[in-house]
Structure 1
Amino acid sequence: MNFFNLFKSKKQPETTQLKKCTETKSQKIQYETKFTATDLTQDKVLIKSIVDKMVKEDPFKNFYTGKVDADFSPLSKRVYKYDAITTVNVNLIVNSKNQYNITVEGIELGSVPQSISKEFTHYYETYLLTAYAYATGGYYKEYSSETQKVIEGFDPYGLDLYVQFT
């Protein structure tokens, strides 16, 4: 009988911990911002190396968002090869000068601009950070009305970075 009584009496801290977890999920976004890799660095080789690592690490590799040449028509928009490549392996690190450095896939991209960095100081210690990056640019396909064929092109690689605190 004592064995079953052990299961009947639950300790209070477990329910408190569950309540805290539920409260965290329902909290509002306190601050969010978007910027690009070119806001941090002009080094195109560095940006390309990050995009290459993102592609390598992506388990799905859904290039051109799954479209094939037959899917393009005169009404189609340009579709980039790495349109669907994204990562949440984005970190903020405070350096000795109290600036925020961004790393993506473990590669340091650069320091956050001072105007955005000022906002981060209000939220960094208190709120939960969520950050992610999307690959932009690169090889693309689009329908050409002139040749009535799908053409391929290239734009420089880039990254769109999103940071929010909840």
Structure 2
Amino acid sequence: MGIRDFFKKRPKEKARPIADASENANDGVGRILFQTRWRSSALFTDNSLIQKVAQYIILEDPFCKPFGGLEDEAIARTNRRIYEYEQVTTLNVAIKDGNLMIEGLSLGKLPAEQWNEISPYYGKKDFTAFVYVTGGRYKIYSDDSKTVETAYTPYDLDIFVQFE
């Protein structure tokens, strides 16, 4: 018996799909039922608390590289604002009875409009959320002075919420 005969005698398996794409096959698991994005400054009036939460997220992120690790020469070529902490994010987000918690710090109760958006899914469906820090110190190339200048805008938080 040769090697060719060995492979010929094996029954061939039919290719099976990894997962059936129909809704009934996975009972809707992994299917996004609702998603939204909020800006913390649009939801909450306490700007000092938003600044505190943003700074806490920055301190807790072990991978943050100020200005994306770019030197001024590279920033000059980008022709856009490069924020000091524009890639800093957290998954430590919870909503407990309408109260938004980020990194264990409460930003307060969600406004009625946002709470009404998510309340049909809250506690009944899988919840996923993450937050990006926006704003803060940034560098940008100035055509007038022909240098990279540093400026500042207050921190804000982009909050992404999803239910599956």
Question: TM-score scaled to structure 2, two decimals?
Answer: 0.79
Q: Secondary structure at the match of 2:73?
A: helix
Which aligned runs of 4 or more in structure 1 are off by greater than 4 angstroms?
none
Q: More helix by proportion, 1 or 2?
A: 1
Deviation at 1:38, TM superposition (A): 1.3
Residue deviations 1:87-127 (CA, integer Å, cap 9, x gap): 00010000xxxxx1101111001222211211211111221
Equivalenced residue count is: 140
How far apart, in 2, do the equivalents of 1:24 and 1:91 lie? 25
Q: Secondary structure at the match of 2:59?
A: helix
Alignment correspondent of 1:78: 81
Q: Secondary structure at the match of 2:31?
A: coil
Alignment correspondent of 1:144: 142
Alignment correspondent of 1:62: 65
Task: Verify the 8 A CA contact 1:74 1:144 in the aligned structure 2.
Answer: no
Deviation at 1:150, TM superposition (A): 0.1
Task: Verify the 8 A CA contact 2:129 2:160 in the aligned structure 1.
Answer: yes
Deviation at 1:40, TM superposition (A): 2.6
Question: TM-score scaled to structure 1, two decimals?
Answer: 0.78
**Corresponding residue to 1:102 among 100, 104, 108:** 100
Q: Secondary structure at the match of 2:86?
A: coil
The alpha-carbon distance between structure 1 residues 24 and 135, as it changes in their structure 2 partners (threshold 3 A), is farther
How far apart, in 2, do the equivalents of 1:75 and 1:49 lie? 30
Task: Verify the 8 A CA contact 2:133 2:158 in the aligned structure 1.
Answer: yes
Report 1:144-163 matches (<5 A).
Answer: 144-163=142-161
Q: Secondary structure at the match of 1:82?
A: coil
The alpha-carbon distance between structure 1 residues 59 and 75, as it changes in their structure 2 partners (threshold 3 A), is closer
Instruction: Mark the runs of 5 or more structure 2 residues left unpaired by the alignment.
Output: 1-24
How far apart, in 2, do the equivalents of 1:25 and 1:114 lie? 28
Task: Verify the 8 A CA contact 2:75 2:82 in the aligned structure 1.
Answer: no
How far apart, in 2, do the equivalents of 1:24 and 1:72 lie? 48
How far apart, in 2, do the equivalents of 1:122 and 1:28 lie? 16
Percent identity (aligned): 33
Please report the RMSD computed on the Cα atoms of aligned residues, expressed in angstroms.
1.8
Larger Rg: 2
Instruction: Mark the runs of 5 or more structure 1 residues left unpaired by the alignment.
Output: 1-21, 95-99
